[in-house]
Structure 1
Amino acid sequence: MASGSLLVAGIAVAADPGTNGSASSGKTADTAMPSTVETFDYPDAAKILKEKNLKLKRGDGHIVLAECGSAPNLMQFIGRDQDDFCFRTIGDNGYLSLEVPAVAGVQTTDHTAHINMTVDDKTKSYDIGKNDFRGIGETTDPEGRNHTLVEIRTAK
């Protein structure tokens, strides 16, 4: 083995020649670069839940909450126990996970949407075309069970 190297648990570790054989870089945890990990959590989710009763979880930033009627090309959801709510889609594709109970309809504009809802621990999916209005969830369920909106995927 070459001078200036250590054998640790069967792994060769090159030592810094300026540290007398020590494998330390001389940096402390205080001077090392901080680690940044993107979680894709929805910004201000707690505030939105409190103010609008919409539990927005994670997304790619291409489906964002918007005031209904504030712009053209919004995707609008109709809820039974709450006011309608809308999302603006940015770019060609988008993803958002959320948890909103009692959603009964959706209207799309310039994007198609793939909607996932849950009912009785089962997933029900809906494919909605561009410029379409469709009943979803309990409005399409023969038993009228309460469905929860859990995922939106959009495409141009």
Structure 2
Amino acid sequence: MRSISKLLVAGAVAGSVVLTGVAVANAATGVPAGSTVATADDTPPPAVEDFAYPDSDKIFAERGFRLISGDGHIVLVDCPTPGSAEKVLMLDTRGLGKVCFRITGNTASLKMEVPSVYGITTPDYAVTARMVTGTGDQAEEKTYTLLRNQSNSVGEAKDVPQRRPFSLLDLTAVK
């Protein structure tokens, strides 16, 4: 029993010495007693924003088009019911139907791949749409400056007489 008491006392003294040493070391560095100091290994890596559109793969699997990246101010939404007062940017497409986006902020941008777009209805923003038809060496790009608060013909609707399908590559909007 005496041996156990001696061990407990020795352990308590040793622990006290260690804690005192930590307190003195912390005091010397200006760190309050009882706190720990983060080291380089404890620091998380810096956050790097890649501006990738959230759930892009899921949207592609469910809806058939890709939203790639943007500044977060053009957001995919459900299209409002006809006659609704809500103003959204609406794409008319062959095969996919209508695709709608809400624009927030004074400026907005979104890179995407939406096939067969032939019309874009704009809210009260100056919108520019960059589109492409064909692939590889045969690819042809067109940029459309769209009128505010109107339905605008783009892509195959403007491609007379060929009526080739155009994919929408990106949108930029300015209030």
| TM-score where L is the length of structure 1 | 0.78
**Residues 37-64 of structure 1: CA distance to partner in whole angstroms, max 9, x if unpaired?**
1000000111111111120000000000
Alignment of structure 1 residues 3-152 onto 2, 5 Å:
27=39, 29=41, 31-69=42-80, 72-120=86-134, 121-142=139-160, 143-152=162-171
Distance 2:71 2:117 in 1: 22
Query: Distance in 2 between the 1:39 and 1:69 partners?
Result: 30
**Structure 1 residues 58-77: Cα deviation after superposition (integer angstroms, max 9, x where no partner):** 00000000111067110110
Could you report, residue by residue, the CA deviation over 1:98-143 in whole angstroms, capped at 9, with x for unpaired residues? 0011011010121121000011322101011211111110111121
Instruction: State how far apart, in whole Å, the 1-side matches of 2:92 and 2:74 are.
Output: 17
Give the distance between the partners of 2:40 and 2:131, measured in 1 at CA: 49
Identity %: 33
CA separation in 1, counterparts of 2:46 and 2:40? 14
What residue in structure 1 maps to residue 173 of structure 2?
154
Aligned-residue CA RMSD (Å): 1.6
SS for the counterpart of 2:58 is helix
Query: What is the CA-CA distance between 1:28 and the residue it aligns to?
Result: 5.1
- Cα distance in 2, alignment partners of residues 55 and 37 from structure 1: 22
More strand by share: 1
Q: Which runs of 4+ in 1 moved over 4 A?
A: none
Query: How far did 1:32 drift?
Result: 2.6
SS of alignment partner, residue 62 of structure 2 = helix
Report the Cα distance in structure 2 between the residues aligned to 1:127 and 1:155, rounded to whole angstroms: 11
Q: Distance in 2 between matches of 1:110 and 1:68?
A: 17
Inter-partner Cα distance in structure 2 for 1:84 and 1:33: 43
- After TM superposition, the score normalised by the length of structure 2 is 0.70
Q: Distance in 2 between matches of 1:47 and 1:97?
A: 16
